[in-house]
Structure 1
Amino acid sequence: MKLGDGVEQAIHAVAVLASLPPGSLLSAAALAEFHGVSQSYLLKHMQALSKAGLVETMPGPKGGYRLALAPDRISLLDVVLAVEGPEPAFRCKEIRQKGPDPLPAHRYAKPCQINVAMLRAERAYRAELRAVTIGQLMAQVAADDTDGALAARGCKFFEPHLRQTPSNEN
């Protein structure tokens, strides 16, 4: 299974937003610059995250993005589904019933065993992604940042880019 680059970008963007001080926003331009990715491509995924209710969009020249939910309420599966959509990775087209001289339909009363196996794997994959939250990832990253270099890098870059939510929006 191959996920698009947008999944990685969206997860990183959500993780960065999770680390912001309360009432703060970041523009898509700042998020894209920090990760060295295309702003227009990232915007597409930020819109998907917003539509899924994972991030909030504050419009206007001083606007930006912030999390709509607590980091412990956003799973990796939530982000993947927002970006990639809810369809399973494998979609059976029942090709076993096609081709020259197919067997009668009653021979295919049982589900395709390939489809059954693939959907079982999809359920396991989704269960694993559902079990990991952005909050858990942030805690692991913080624990691994023993010298504070990662936190310092983020603070140095984001401090001049932080925007504040209007006081009646908090």
Structure 2
Amino acid sequence: MKLSAGVEWAIHCCVVLSQAQQPVPAARLADLHGVSRTYLAKHLQALARAGIVRPVEGRDGGYELTRPPAEVSVLAVVEAIDGPEPAFRCTEIRQQGELAAPPEQCTRPCGVARVMAAAEQAWRRSLAGSSVADLAASFDTTKMRSLL
């Protein structure tokens, strides 16, 4: 499975926002991580559309989480950035080419589709069971807060 770089950026931003006492401007989030401001802004917009963060207008504006960090799963962030579609899409290759099986033998998913679906479920379950708060616990949040 390959996730976009935006997923990593978005997760790190959510961790920073979980420690902030006030909204953090997108430019500051980009500077803290050494990433492109314009590219990060697109990902923050995706997080806002998903209801994970909200923009705050005004002189002291920026972004903030919409709910406590313990209620924001890593899966929600991943899906906000890369979408909810499954990583594997079965194309029924077993019904093509010289090894093609007749359709009547293909009433259930093949072994490849079953193992890929099981892996996807395990991956999603793991991400759903991890929150932004869990991740923040693994960072030096004192240093993080001092830079905000």
Check whether TM > 0.5.
yes
- Out of 144, 151, 155, which is 2:142 matched to? 151
Deviations 1:135-158 (A, max 9, x none): 1222233xxx4xxxx623x34432
Corresponding letter in the other structure for 1:16: V
SS of the residue corresponding to residue 46 of structure 2 reads helix
SS of the residue corresponding to residue 127 of structure 2 reads helix
Deviations 1:48-93 (A, max 9, x none): 1111110011235642100001001001111111111001111111
Mapped to 2, the partners of 1:46 and 1:63 lie a distance apart of 14
Matched, 1:89 2:87: yes
- Out of 70, 73, 76, which is 1:72 matched to? 70
Mapped to 1, the partners of 2:146 and 2:109 lie a distance apart of 56
Match of residue 32 from structure 1: 30
Q: Give the percent of matched residue pairs that are identical in Structure 1 and Structure 2.
A: 44
Where do 4+ consecutive residues of structure 1 move more than 6 Å?
A: none
Deviations 1:23-68 (A, max 9, x none): x111111100110001111111111111111001123564210000
- Out of 102, 109, 112, which is 1:111 matched to? 109
Mapped to 2, the partners of 1:140 and 1:156 lie a distance apart of 17
Mapped to 1, the partners of 2:147 and 2:134 lie a distance apart of 23
Match of residue 8 from structure 2: 8
> Given that residues 20 and 145 in structure 2 are in contact (C-alpha distance below 8 angstroms), is that contact kept between their aligned partners in structure 1?
no
Max Rg structure: 1
Mapped to 2, the partners of 1:47 and 1:133 lie a distance apart of 20
> Given that residues 25 and 61 in structure 2 are in contact (C-alpha distance below 8 angstroms), is that contact kept between their aligned partners in structure 1?
yes
Match of residue 164 from structure 1: none
Corresponding letter in the other structure for 2:147: F
Mapped to 2, the partners of 1:102 and 1:140 lie a distance apart of 50
Corresponding letter in the other structure for 2:47: L
Distance 1:101 1:70, change over 3 A: closer
> Aligned pair count?
148
Gaps of 5+ in 1: 159-170
Corresponding letter in the other structure for 1:151: T
